[in-house]
Amino acid sequence: MASHLALGPAREQVLERARRLPAETVRLAEARGRTLAGDVFARHHLPPFDNSAMDGFALRSADTAGATASNPVVLTLAGESRAGTPERRALEAGEIAKISTGAALPDGADCVLRVEDAGRPDEAHVEVAYELAPGHDVRPAGDDVRAGERVVAAGAVIGAGEIAMLASVGSGTVECARRPRVAIVTTGDELVEPGGTLEHGQIFDSNSAMLVALVEACGAELVSLDTAVADEQTPAERAIAAALAGDGAPPDVLIACGGVSVGEHDHVKPALAAAGVGEIFWQVAMRPGHPTYFGVREAAGGENATLVFGLPGNPVSAYATFHMFAAPALRALAGGERLPRTVTARLAEPLRKPPGHAQVLRCRLSDDGHGGLLAAPTSGNQRSHAISSLVGVHGLALIPAEVTDLAAGAPVAVELTRA
């Protein structure tokens, strides 16, 4: 057991082989969840011009010298600058112009008087009851971003905030790594599609739907989903060969789930070998997820290589090993940050485990009341068949192989799950 590949090095073996896919042009409106392939730079200042931070009046600060509540300065109203329709005429000494939030400051003006602070003795004049400094309530050009500055870095996952930034610098399209194409094959004689009826000894196939959700949450594209419901060599071989051939092009990733253990009816490894997949590793010193397999089907004649994950069929093992190996690979193919975000949390209850394998604990995170995080197992039953432990997971706590005893309150690293 201890001689099996450790979790960290196993993950390194995967990441070494997961290189960013070629870039393609994506419309900004469709870029959410995609990964930016190259840095994006501002072509102009942001804001592009000096503009008003408030609804009010644009004026020359020098004209307000000596103004007080008892001795206000009276300025003559001259024009209006609206957002999108700036006042083109320059402001002369003694003049003041109406201005809306975001509208360009007229030439000559250097500050803004808020509408609620303006006295209006009549339609043609505005009273200013205090001195205004240059720049008061003005958002200067380039105050947010300077022309030429990098606004979003290569590798960033595009969310709503990044979309706002990219749109603001005028990017109608962006270059993103192509989405990884993923095929899924689940195997098992006992599996029935949810919605069907169970005979004695059968169970519903929960992994197919779960893996689809996980794949989609990684921003990847599902290209095929097949279930080989006969634990014999031939159906597994057929399903795997078809998934690897793909529809036109081979997938970037194949996830085979179930049948990867040492049982007499575990036909996935030989089926993968028959399809030309070279094994990189099989069996990792981790619980759940010990039988995990990883291999590569090398590219043939200009086609893509396919990374192949053989995940154990226990739903909890499949969930944990997807997060440990397949998710980082999918993120790497998409050109993004490979490893999940990790936080340190204090364990809510003591934990004992044998040495020799890392343990992946499904956890809920909460405030520990002292400015930190508490990681509590999602269910008392953390065994690999306990599907109840998958409900309400915030993250996976990684307990290193050599650890055997942890007291309540001990710090643990928790990898945040995104699905």
| Residues near Mg ion, by CB under 5 A | 188, 258-259, 313
Minimum gap (Å) between residue 258 Cβ and Mg ion: 4
**Closer residue to Mg ion in complex, CB, 63/205:** 205
d(CA 280, CA 352): 31
Contact (Cβ atoms closer than 8 angstroms) between residue 81 and residue 100: yes
Name residue 186's beta-bridge partners.
227, 257
289 binds ligand AMP, rule: CB under 6 A: no
**Closer residue to Mg ion in complex, CB, 188/219:** 188
190 binds ligand AMP, rule: CB under 6 A: yes
Task: Give me the half-sphere count of Cα atoms (radius 13 Å) on the Cβ side of residue 65.
Answer: 4
d(CA 343, CA 325): 19
Q: Count residues near ligand AMP (CB under 6 A).
A: 20
**Closer residue to Mg ion in complex, CB, 258/377:** 258
259 binds ligand AMP, rule: CB under 6 A: yes
Strands (E), 149-248: 150-152, 173-177, 181-187, 191-192, 203-204, 221-228
207 binds ligand AMP, rule: CB under 6 A: yes
Query: Helix, strand or coil for residue 279?
Result: strand
What would the two tokens of residue 47 be? 């804001």
User: Which of ligand AMP, Mg ion, none does residue 379 bind to, with CB < 5 to 8 Å depending on kind?
Assistant: none
Minimum gap (Å) between residue 172 Cβ and ligand AMP: 43
d(CA 410, CA 392): 22
Minimum gap (Å) between residue 187 Cβ and Mg ion: 6
**Closer residue to ligand AMP in complex, CB, 28/229:** 229
206 binds ligand AMP, rule: CB under 6 A: yes
The DSSP secondary structure of 101-131, one letter per residue, reads TTPBPPTT--EEEEGGG-EEEETTEEEE-S-
The DSSP secondary structure of 45-94, one letter per residue, reads -BSSS-EESSSEEEE-GGGGTT--SSS-EEEEEEEEEBTTB---SPPPTT
Minimum gap (Å) between residue 267 Cβ and ligand AMP: 10
Among 50, 95, 205, 237, binds ligand AMP (CB under 6 A): 205
**Closer residue to ligand AMP in complex, CB, 75/191:** 191
Contact (Cβ atoms closer than 8 angstroms) between residue 96 and residue 78: yes
155 binds ligand AMP, rule: CB under 6 A: no
Residue nearest to Mg ion (CB): 188
What would the two tokens of residue 203 be? 């169970």
314 binds ligand AMP, rule: CB under 6 A: yes
Dihedrals phi, psi of 76, to nearest 5 degrees: -95, 130
**Closer residue to Mg ion in complex, CB, 317/389:** 317
Among 191, 243, 272, 277, binds ligand AMP (CB under 6 A): 191
Q: Binding segment for ligand AMP among 60-68, 84-92, 112-120, 251-259 (CB under 6 A)?
A: 251-259
Contact (Cβ atoms closer than 8 angstroms) between residue 308 and residue 250: no
User: Which of ligand AMP, Mg ion, none does residue 417 bind to, with CB < 5 to 8 Å depending on kind?
Assistant: none
**Residue 252 CA: distances (Å) to CA of 8, 24, 249, 364:** 23, 16, 9, 32
Residue nearest to ligand AMP (CB): 313
d(CA 184, CA 306): 12
310 binds ligand AMP, rule: CB under 6 A: no
Minimum gap (Å) between residue 7 Cβ and ligand AMP: 19
User: Which of ligand AMP, Mg ion, none does residue 224 bind to, with CB < 5 to 8 Å depending on kind?
Assistant: none
Interface positions, 68-127, toward ligand AMP (CB under 6 A) = none
Site residues, ligand AMP (CB under 6 A): 186, 188, 190-191, 203, 205-208, 257-261, 263, 266, 312-315
